[in-house]
Structure 1
Amino acid sequence: MSGWLPGASCTPGTCVEPAGSVVAAPRAVLRLTAVAVLLLAGTAVVLTPLGRRCVPDALVRRWSRWIVRAAGVRVRLTGSAAPEGGLLLVANHVSWLDIPLLAAVRPARMLAKSEIGRWPAAGVLAARGGVLFIERDRLRALPDTVAVLARALRSGAAVAAFPEGSTWCGRAQGPFRRAVFQAALDARVPVQRVRIRYLAGGPAVSTTPAFVGADTLPASLWRVASARALTAEVEVCPPVPPDRRHDRRSLAEAVGHRAHGHQGKAPSKSMCVL
């Protein structure tokens, strides 16, 4: 199996719970409408001649948080600030909400499967937005992909990745794959871990926002928009300097360990120390 193409055992039927408390349908529709308006506004900016380069990062961060809030999800952002310059930003992957949440930490070039680049409209928008595409099913393409990532990092860009390679429900999580960490080592840039959890009115992890397995995007959108009292906890750990780890295996294990040591528990500051 390719290092980019792991599988997850989570499925909608076994892992995703319905929202315990829901809002009225008109309010859910209003939330989805607000999300669509914000996305259309962002798309309009991307399609301008200057595109993303004409928008300050501070505005992108706010816009990203607005998208999550428009969907009815509160955002609780804690921890360290993301440094300037080249940076590999990595996080566990639960939901489509993870993407704007990472952008709220620091706007970055996202990694995406190459199939998206071939979609008629979304592919053009993704390319204009700086997305880096991965040939996930071609192991022989791995060295070239790592080289492209390293080149982007050396240029001073932030690159955001979900090293699990697949979405998980949030209660279960997968190991961090090593390939993306090689790019950080080659470029000699820091790695910053972001831990994302979704809660529903209490300390226990909620799987309502999870987008896993054969789940459909419309079903996931409606489940999130109709849920009441969802909160996204985003914990940003201190960046790991490029000289702290010397091989991708130890770097991936050290950064990924924090994702697996406290499933369903309250966040611990000690888990953010390497």
Structure 2
Amino acid sequence: MSAWLPSAPCTPRACVETPAAVPARLVPRAVLRLTGVALLLLAGIALLPLGGRIPAGLVRRWCRWIVRAAGVRVRVTGATAVPTGGLLLVANHISWLDIPLLAAVRPARMVAKTEVRRWPVAGPLAARGGVLFIDRDRLRALPDTVARITHALREGTAVAAFPEGSTWCGRAQGTFRRAVFQAALDARVPVQPVRIAYRLAAGPGRDAGATTAAAFVGDDTLLASLWRVATTRGLIAEVEVRAPIPPGGHPDRRSLARSAQPPEAAPAWTHTVLVA
């Protein structure tokens, strides 16, 4: 394991709450949800040639629509204003849902592993959308990756990254890796920390509480994760936009990464098996 290729101990079998067999009467709803997600992604691909001519507000709404289409409600709290211009947007990483949730805070060029290029539908969308791909197997490629991120930030672009380097189930979280924060220091731009969590809504026969149903970890497949999200009842994505960290306040990337790291949550975990 390298500093650029961290691994999380989370696995689907050990960490993820798996829904019970979905009743046949609820299957059409789940299929409809996934169809809605696919159609929104395809619409995004079709509109990509318009590039920066698409209003940022429309992009944010489109990202929320993707999450809502999957049957997930969104709650955004915290800072009401996000800096304009060059900005490093960072968040903890639990699910594929984190990507549209982070873009809903502010549209940005994503930093993603090269494997994302091979994902169906989402891969072409990412490539055409200006994603900054990183080769996590080659540590020697790290300086060039940091230089490309720095260049984008200096041009006034927002860049979004998940500095944990791997997805975690949400019960525990990883440490923010320092490399991407060097780009913010070099470009002298603010850092916008965001904390993402997933909960279940209270309802008949169940209590509200944090859940791992949205987690996309270990050897989990994207299709399995999509189906689990679409069939989980009362799933809520909570997005906490923390205060931005202005440039010049931290002497090195270690200090900056530590300041941006979200506090470890201590939720009342529930293992209730739910279906939509």
Deviates more, 1:124-133 or 1:110-119: 110-119
Q: Which amino acid aligns with 1:259?
A: P
Q: Which amino acid aligns with 1:177?
A: R
Aligned position for 1:53 = 52
Aligned position for 2:112 = 112
Q: Which amino acid aligns with 1:191?
A: V
Shift of 1:21: 11
Identity %: 69
> Normalising by structure 1, what TM-score?
0.90
Change (3 A) 1:218 1:133: same
Change (3 A) 1:228 1:107: same
Q: Does 1:37 align with 2:29?
A: no
Pairs within 5 Å for 1:163-174: 163-174=163-174
Q: Does 1:224 align with 2:226?
A: no
Q: Which amino acid aligns with 1:69?
A: R
Superposed CA offset, 1:45-102 (max 9, x none): 11x3xx3222110000000000000000000011112110000000000000000000
Change (3 A) 1:101 1:120: closer
Once residues 120 and 224 of structure 1 are traced to their aligned partners in structure 2, the CA distance between those partners, rounded to angstroms, is: 18
Aligned position for 1:249 = 254
CA contact (8 A) 1:197 1:232 kept: yes
Once residues 118 and 196 of structure 1 are traced to their aligned partners in structure 2, the CA distance between those partners, rounded to angstroms, is: 25
Q: Which amino acid aligns with 2:254?
A: R
Q: Which amino acid aligns with 1:200?
A: L
Shift of 1:42: 0.6
Once residues 239 and 265 of structure 1 are traced to their aligned partners in structure 2, the CA distance between those partners, rounded to angstroms, is: 28
- Tell me, what secondary structure is at the counterpart of 2:210? coil
Could you tell me which runs of 5 or more consecutive residues in structure 1 were left unpaired when the two chains were aligned.
Answer: 267-274
Aligned position for 2:272 = none
Superposed CA offset, 1:10-46 (max 9, x none): 0000000124897811111111111111111111111
Change (3 A) 1:178 1:123: same
Aligned position for 2:263 = 259
Once residues 18 and 152 of structure 2 are traced to their aligned partners in structure 1, the CA distance between those partners, rounded to angstroms, is: 40
CA contact (8 A) 1:163 1:177 kept: yes
Aligned position for 2:93 = 93
Shift of 1:117: 4.1
CA contact (8 A) 1:16 1:207 kept: yes
Q: Which amino acid aligns with 1:162?
A: F
Deviates more, 1:100-109 or 1:247-256: 247-256
Q: How many residues align?
A: 261
Shift of 1:125: 3.5
Aligned position for 1:102 = 102
Q: Which amino acid aligns with 2:263?
A: A
Q: Which amino acid aligns with 2:90?
A: V
Aligned position for 2:274 = none
Change (3 A) 1:173 1:59: same
> Normalising by structure 2, what TM-score?
0.89
Once residues 210 and 118 of structure 2 are traced to their aligned partners in structure 1, the CA distance between those partners, rounded to angstroms, is: 35
Q: Which amino acid aligns with 1:67?
A: I
- Tell me, what secondary structure is at the counterpart of 2:36? helix
Q: Which amino acid aligns with 1:234?
A: V
Superposed CA offset, 1:193-234 (max 9, x none): 100000012552100000000101111111100111100000
Q: Which amino acid aligns with 2:267?
A: G
Deviates more, 1:5-14 or 1:111-120: 111-120
